[in-house]
Chain A
Amino acid sequence: MRRRLTEAVAWLLAAAIACPALAAEGAGAWGVEQLMAELGKVKRSQARFTERKYLKVLKAPLLSSGTLTYTAPDKLEKRTLKPRPEVLLVEGGQVVVEMDAGARRTLRMADHPVLQAFVESIRSTLGGDARTLERYYKVSLEGDRSAWQLYLAPRGRDMARVISQIRIGGGNGRIELIEVQETRGDRSVMKVTEDGP
């Protein structure tokens, strides 16, 4: 149970990549390395998000919204406000989930390879660590500095069973969109708006 839950948790954590990053100065060649360098400079950022989940069994998408906070080097918080409060906190090697009833669960990421793959990839993205990101995903980039799309295809078998692709979109050092395509056909799209520097 816990493991599957954490996969879900991890999936949503991917949303944390949405934390906006400050624009990096400088010109030259544009590629994953440059993007990583740009994103890695951010030490702290806060944003609002709205998320839509498109599920095959539902006639209409599920809607949720809240805030996202990133603090370098390893702290992420996703605070859902609607439709019901829920907090997801990643810090160090731990994930803490707080339900609105006050129930609290702490998970060790080392126990859950899929979750770890997620979290490490997010961290390496936010920390600008392209090498670690490459270890977990086949990474490809489209577009230019002002409007780019980063595609992440899972390398791990376990991860690939759950997720077929993660698409992160942004421009000028900011993440604006995260789309997670599930292997079973369901999909979620998260739009991120930065609160300002």
Chain B
Amino acid sequence: MRRSAVGLWLAFVVACAAVALRTDYSADLAAFLPRSPTPAQQILVDELREGVVSRIILVGLEGAEPARLAALSRALAARLAQDPRFAYVANGADDGFEADLDFLHRHRYLLSPAVAPGHFDAPNLHAALERQLGLLDSNAGMLVGRWIENDPTGETLRLLEALGREGGPRKRDGVWFSADGRRALLVAQTRAAGFDIDAQEAAQAALRAAFGAAQAGGATLLMTGPGMFAVQSRESIKRDATRFSLLATVLVSLLMLAVYRRPRILGLMLLPVATGALAGVAAVSLGFGAVHGVTLGFGATLIGEAVDYAMYVFTNTPEGGTPRQTLARIWPTLRLGMLTSVCGFAALLFSGFPGLAQLGLFSIAGLVAAAAMTRWVLPQITPGGTTVRSATWLGPMLQKAVAGAGRLRLPLAAVVAASCAGIAWQGGQPWDDELSSLSPAPLADQQLDAQMRRDLGAPDVGPLIVVREATEQAALESAERIGAALDALRREQGLDSYDSPALLLPSAATQRQRQQAIPAPGALRASLAAAARGTPFRVEALQPFLDEAGAARSASPVTRADLEGTALALKVDALLAHRHGEWFAMLPLKGRIDAEALRATLRGIAGERAVLLEIKKETDALYRGYRTRATTFAVAGVAAIALLLAFSLRSPARVWDVLAPLAAAVVVTVALLLVLQAKLNLFHLVGLLLVVGVGSNYALFFERGSEPEDRADASRIYTSVFLCNLSTVIGFGVLALAATPVLRAIGGTVALGALLSLVFAAILVPRRAA
């Protein structure tokens, strides 16, 4: 038996290590975003992962004179334009505009929506000439004059107007600047998708190198954007994972050395921790295929918890006793404590967040393995004659404190009442409903990002129509049909404007129709001659118009390739995506819409292939849905714990003894978090659930300690509970320092809640002993 337990354990450790060594480690931030239940939301998530939006890096230059910053901006843009890692760089300088203008002018008769049958008839042409004459006479004369000879119907102007180059960031010395003029701004688009963190990291390094090579003087470089967040988060997760696991190990080890003063005991206590950690990694690896960096960071908490089991055993072993004898006594309590913790973590498994599910599985596997190791292997491998002399002053002191703690019941009631009142006063809405509260990026970075977006005049995310088709042409044709419906809405309702890939890249069919609307050369010449009658125009000077309109009739249709080298290509790429073998056309809307009516219209045009996404609404609704779901599972987790306690303790009074301090701890923790954080998010909710799961251990042991076999026994129980609590608070507490929000929120909540659980248990539990 003895051999077989140790042998089994060794085999288990070797197997786990083998799995752990072959494990992939990931840092995909999407793991901590809710899974998307609908195809429409999937489009949204894809867009965030690999769309143009995900490839944008916003660059700020500051810390020098504006003229110096402007020169730096130009130098940086010039360098990045040469770099194959970047598809596009813009700093507001007008260099790129000529290329855009040239594209629009060259293809005006295929691009202009005005080109329709009758457009070049004599009456319409005459009206166009009169209009041009009016413009020539105005302050806009030079603009019109530039194209009057080959574009007397003003198609180029019409296209420019439709593009709407109004607004945009402020400029200084010809390049974009922030409103306060202290920061030059650039926008760079990487070729690699935002989720390709390695490529993003390389692009950012290239950007830094280009900045360095541009001889920045005293200026500093700022970067933000989704790719930036992804890289930084991966870095901070990596850092957090190793740093905090190490910190927790060192602190817990120091604590144990201080109390037990025996390295051998320390070594024995750490064995279940190591076993648990290996089991956790192996379980996640087998269950999820890869282990997330955040899960490893969560390892710190496992250290704090898994060490508890050995600590209970050693501390409760009286002088001359053996761990085996102790286990015989306390195993039922230990097991129950372990199971309540498992109940808490099990709720995470069903939370709907892949990342949280990993944390749940990791902790469950780790705790079960650590507890089993403590139960069946530790007594076998503890050398005979190993005695534990824990700090003898600690027990009596704690006993005294606990004996006196009962008097604090009234003040505790007052604190709980005040907390309840505080929570109620908060307005009953303690939840942060912004999805951004779950963003892995630190708040300061999010604020910088928002500031730079404001400075660049990036519009708020409005409603978006997405239509999905099998081919590029079909997608463009659908976009055109939807655009026609939107034009009608624009006239009738509050819709201000919309964008569509078909505005710059009409479908081949539409381009053919426009070609057919251009009269044959002879007819056009006659029509122009008739139109010019009664105007000061010289028909012979308009020959370029006749030539170019004639050429447009037989030109090959404009394709995406024709846009190469223009800033307009960026726009088309953002609105027309080829993904999962299908083509997606996106039409962003500005202004008021009647969502229901629009959805009905879209159904009529493209059936289920077109969807209206109200992005902000959609994501926030998504998040609220997940919070509701997570709340359900948290309540289920607490209910499972209560049932487990009822089943094991078989006495409503005893269940109450255990649960009352936990309930009080949760209430006070929520109140404190609201004071410290203002709003709570999903991760805090998870933390609260774990307070119940983890905190119940202390209440259980206190409950045991309240009916001691002798005074020394009680003293040892209090000591063990105190130390275990301390190690747990260390394990979760160090995570409160983490940069990764999920770790920080859960760590801080559980550390606070666990500490309160212990204190409240001390106050509430031992009343029958008194």
A residues sitting closer than 8 Å to B (CB atoms) are 1-5, 7-9, 11-12, 53, 55-60, 62, 64, 80, 83-84, 86, 88, 97, 99, 108, 110-111, 113, 158, 162, 182, 184, 186
Total number of A-B contacts with CB less than 8 angstroms? 94
Q: How far is the CA of A110 from the CA of B173 in the complex (A)?
A: 7
B321 within 8 Å of A (CB atoms): no
B537 in contact with A57 (CB, 8 Å) = yes
- A55, A86, A110, A162: the one contacting B139 at CB < 8 Å is A86
In the complex, the 6 A-B pairs of residues with the closest C-beta atoms, listed nearest first = A8-B142, A4-B143, A1-B160, A57-B541, A110-B171, A58-B536
B141 within 8 Å of A (CB atoms): yes
Q: Main secondary structure on chain A at its contact with chain B?
A: mixed
B142 in contact with A1 (CB, 8 Å) = no
Q: Nearest B residue to A10 by beta-carbon distance?
A: B142
- CB proximity of B528 to chain A, nearest CB, Å: 12
Q: How far is the CA of A102 from the CA of B719 in the complex (A)?
A: 85
A4 in contact with B146 (CB, 8 Å) = yes
**What is the 8 Å Cβ interface bit string for chain B, positions 154-196, against chain A (1 contact, 0 not)?**
0001001101011010111110000000000000000000000
- B136, B140, B171: the one contacting A53 at CB < 8 Å is B136
Chain B residues lying within 8 Å of A11, measured Cβ to Cβ, are: 142
A12 in contact with B139 (CB, 8 Å) = yes
Chain B residues lying within 8 Å of A7, measured Cβ to Cβ, are: 142-143
- B133, B152, B165: the one contacting A2 at CB < 8 Å is B165
Chain A residues lying within 8 Å of B542, measured Cβ to Cβ, are: 57
- B145, B168, B173: the one contacting A186 at CB < 8 Å is B145
B165 in contact with A158 (CB, 8 Å) = no
Q: How far is the CA of A12 from the CA of B137 in the complex (A)?
A: 11
A62 in contact with B136 (CB, 8 Å) = yes
Q: Nearest A residue to B95 by beta-carbon distance?
A: A158
- CB proximity of A184 to chain B, nearest CB, Å: 7
Q: A57-B538, A58-B538, A59-B538 are known contacts. Are A5 and B140 too (CB-CB below 8 A)? A: yes
B171 in contact with A55 (CB, 8 Å) = no
B171 in contact with A1 (CB, 8 Å) = no
B window 528-562: CB within 8 A of A: 536-538, 541-542
B window 119-149: CB within 8 A of A: 133-134, 136-146, 148-149
- CB proximity of B537 to chain A, nearest CB, Å: 6
A1 in contact with B170 (CB, 8 Å) = no
B94 in contact with A108 (CB, 8 Å) = no
22 A-B pairs (CB sep. < 8 Å): A2-B166, A8-B141, A8-B144, A11-B142, A53-B141, A55-B148, A57-B148, A57-B149, A57-B538, A57-B542, A59-B536, A59-B537, A88-B139, A97-B139, A99-B138, A110-B171, A110-B172, A110-B173, A111-B168, A162-B142, A182-B142, A184-B145
B160 in contact with A55 (CB, 8 Å) = no
**What is the 8 Å Cβ interface bit string for chain B, positions 71-102, against chain A (1 contact, 0 not)?**
00000000000000000000000100100000
Chain B residues lying within 8 Å of A5, measured Cβ to Cβ, are: 139-140, 143
Q: A57-B538, A59-B536, A186-B145 are known contacts. Are A64 and B137 too (CB-CB below 8 A)? A: yes
Chain A residues lying within 8 Å of B170, measured Cβ to Cβ, are: 108, 110-111
